[in-house]
Structure 1
Amino acid sequence: MDELQRIWKRHQYVARASTAFIYGILVSIAMNFFWTPGKIYSSGITGLAQLLTSLGNRYLAHTFHPSVALLLFLLNLPLFVLAWKQIGHRFTFFTILAVVCSSIMIKSLSAVTLTKDPIICAIFGAAINGFGTGLALKNGISTGGLDILGLTLRKRTGKSIGTINLCFNFFIILAAGAVYGWPYAFYSALGIFINARVMDMVYTRQQKMQVMIVTNKPRSVIDCIQSRLPRGITIVHGAEGAYRHDQKTILFTVISRYEQSELKAAMEESDPYAFVSIAENVEIMGRFYEPEP
């Protein structure tokens, strides 16, 4: 058993390290192929690094030539400390790895101007970056910046990562308008919105779903679900089917979208003929277990 646990942990480490590398490639493509040519600002710390680079090149061109890659790493340093204290050491290590990979790839990958159309650059840059960020979060690592703040605040507020990011990015939108002109503020706002939505589509742990199960095998269903998922279940006895008037039991639980496949497998194993109804995007009051990153 100990050997299996070591193998599983090693597999998780390799998967997270690979995800950090993949994220670095994706964010560098978004930055060098779309955002920079289209004069689009990203969200969060990446957008702030872009802003400081633009201002440095405009007003300090003769004395200081900051790069987005360098500023991205430097701005994340205090957030690494926050993650180390508030979230976890292993999480912080892979977050640092993701930020280092992204900084190196942004600096190393040669820029290719596919188009300068700001709408296309905003949409495709945001979609690529949002997918990379969501993939990283889904695999238990962060991309730094507002992800760390978002994960910390989500424990207290229950808000989704994308929603929290949107709240921090009003300043970035104003900066885009001041530096490049107000049309680019709207293009950047479009990109930030798409980035948040794609991130939430990929990172599904924070999306809650209410499940109602009507079954005549309640014990089998409960045992099978709870062997797979750390979820409480409420039992309602004495239900009656209207067609055959046979006795049924109704089970209620709440899961995350991330756990939907496990629920489906549990139902197929325990009672494939049960009636299952799932309501999405429910609001939870009270304790809802979420695994640590």
Structure 2
Amino acid sequence: MESLEGLSRRYNLLSKVSAAFLYAIAVAVALNFFWEPGRMYSSGVTGFAQLINTLSERYLPFTLTTSTLYFALNVPLFILGWFKIGKKFTIFTIIAVFLASIMMHNLPAPEWKLDPLVCAIFGGVINGVGTGLALKSGISTGGLDIVGIILRKKTGQSFGSINIAINLLIVIAAGFVFGWTRSLYTALNIFINGRVIDAVYTQHRKMQVMIVTEHPKKIIEGIQAKMHRGITIIHDVEGAYGHTEKTILFTIIDRYDMYDIHNIIVACDPYAFVSVSEVAKVYGRFKEQELV
């Protein structure tokens, strides 16, 4: 009989490969159905691949396809991820990017003319959902994801300024290539894409949880066993209503862990008072959840 650990590994592998495949379909649909017909660019490496493709069509005797460029531009980032993040992480990233390149190349583009506003909205939403699900499953979609993970590990800082600078360059390029109206739609597409990713993938958001309980030991054991989080304990506090002795527990979690910590608290002390608030910044020894 197969062990639970073996089943867990197989399920984890299947979920990651499935997420990579769903991402590949999403980005291919967004590119071929909406961005290309709408004459607008995506964000990050996909947008750069589109830009180089446009320039090759106009100024070179041959055309460099977006699908090929998308994979080629990610190769240096694969190498960086292999040495700086982890081999397993990089392998799944290569799978996701390879499948996306194949789908971009082979998914037939419909012959339709849509309003560019529709293209910006639907392209951003579809790609955002695919990317968010991939990140939520613990895999990267390549490109700026890898740069962001490395910078966050090294410095603890967000790579938002770099991301904004690169996307601003793409928006400006769209203005010169397609006109400034299309540049506005490109900016809208990038904004919608980012907001949808944030809505789907919430692990990077940090939450402070304050728990007032009469059974701190059970809750501490449950949190540390399930989530491996540090906890600050304040002993000998008193409830004003019943004047009973209580303990306050403080911990910082990823928003993605909210479901787990809620179940732990309810199982250990259904009468515990819990307050949850979003955290703007975390300093000190906070362990990021690994993507590998």
* TM-score, length of structure 1 as denominator length: 0.94
* Residue of structure 2 in register with 1:124 after alignment: 122
* Residue of structure 2 in register with 1:228 after alignment: 226
Deviations along 1:197-248, one digit per CA (max 9) or x if unpaired, are 2112222221100000111111122122222111111111222212222222
Alignment of 1:72-87 (within 5 A): 72-87=70-85
CA contact (8 A) 1:79 1:144 kept: yes
Alignment of 1:39-50 (within 5 A): 39-50=39-50
- What residue ranges of structure 1 are gaps of 5+ in the alignment? none
Counterpart CA distance in 1 for 2:234 and 2:35 is 54
Deviations along 1:173-207, one digit per CA (max 9) or x if unpaired, are 11000100112112111111121121122222211
Alignment of 1:1-293 (within 5 A): 3-60=3-60, 63-113=61-111, 115-159=113-157, 165-293=163-291
* TM-score, length of structure 2 as denominator length: 0.94
Superposed CA RMSD in Å reads: 1.8
CA contact (8 A) 2:209 2:274 kept: yes
Q: Deviation of residue 159 (structure 1)?
A: 4.5
Q: Deviation of residue 275 (structure 1)?
A: 0.6
Counterpart CA distance in 2 for 1:234 and 1:216 is 15
Deviations along 1:142-164, one digit per CA (max 9) or x if unpaired, are 11111111111122344557775
Change (3 A) 1:114 1:239: farther
> Paired residues, what number?
291
1:169 partner SS: helix
Counterpart CA distance in 1 for 2:282 and 2:289 is 16
More displaced, 181-190 or 3-12? 3-12
Q: Deviation of residue 165 (structure 1)?
A: 3.0
- Moved runs in structure 1, 4+ residues, more than 6 A? none
2:184 partner SS: helix
CA contact (8 A) 2:151 2:158 kept: no
Q: Deviation of residue 7 (structure 1)?
A: 2.6
- What residue ranges of structure 2 are gaps of 5+ in the alignment? none
Counterpart CA distance in 2 for 1:12 and 1:21 is 14
